[in-house]
Each structure stands twice: as structure tokens, then as C-alpha cells.
Chain A
């Protein structure tokens, strides 16, 4: 079982819609969770991090964490074509204290 799992997609949403990206993790000791956006050929850029159960909002982005279900999600409201990218979920802490990435979900926002 992979430590961090994501659906590879592609996830296609129309412009203006809400995009919902999901991630599950296997290490219950994981402490912090990150969402990164990566454009092709570029390094990942941090969108949000979350370490407490519940929701965390920043502009059009909302991260949700449910430690009981070992589930992290990212909602993007009012999706724009410029949001089209690969979204990487990552966790750190737990048994290894390593920053581990999921395989990423490709999001395509259709104009």
C-alpha cells in the first residue's frame, strides 16, 4: 500500500465550478499535510498546509482534514483555466518524519 494515495485523473471541471481533489494516507502518525500545485516542467509550489482536523480556507482554496478517516481534500472554488495543473498531496511526520508525496491528480479546467 502506498503511503499517500491520489486518483491520477484527469479531473475535468468547467470554468467557475468547484474542483474537489482527494487524498488518503496510511500512516496514522502523520502530522502535517500539504497540497502543492505543479505545472509541467516546473517545481511544485505550496498551496496550503493543514495539521488540525476540520477545514482551512485561503481564498478560493479550502483544505479539509479528517484524521479518523485518514483523508485530506482540497476544494478549489470558481475554478479557472489557470488552475489546470497537477495537484500533489504530501504528508510529513509519523514513523519516518519524511515528506512523502502522492502520485498527483491532473486537473483540467475547461473554458
Chain B
């Protein structure tokens, strides 16, 4: 299993509060991603990083920000949580482009409930 740790694994928060999810990897992979999983939508990319301080938006980035100050850590922040952000969040990592199949490895997920 890829060395990916997500924290917290479960969180309940109130609407309007800021929330930060942390992803930590021990594989020294260059690329890190945040996805959310929702019924009927599969996994959708929120933001990704291709190096320290290098990040870009995915398809559902509104309301989220990210930071990557070290290779091993990728933070996802909900500036002001809304009920529509209730979801399961998955961190993922991968090697540099060109690796066979561009395989991405996922963490175990963080369950976030916004009430």
C-alpha cells in the first residue's frame, strides 16, 4: 500500500467555519491530488500539485484552496464550509508523467459533514 495518511479521518463542522484536511505521503511522489466522492458523480478532482508550491485547479475547485510547502504534505482548506461540501475527500499521489498507466494511489479518505 502507498504510504498516504489523511487527517482527520472523520469531522463534523458547522456551516461557515474553516476546515483544513491534511494529506501526508512517505513515497516522495511529485504529484498530489485532492478528490471528492459523491453519489452519482464518482471521483472529481478539486486541486492538484505538481511540486512544492506548484498547484492548479481541478474541475470542482470553487470554495477550496490548497497549499504544499513540503513534498510530503498537501493541505486542502475549505475557507467557509457549506453543506454542499459534505463529502468524502480522498488524497492521491503519483509519480512523474510517463509512468506506465499514470497510476494514481489513493489514501483512505476523510469523511466531512457540514451541518
On whether the two chains bind one another, the answer is no
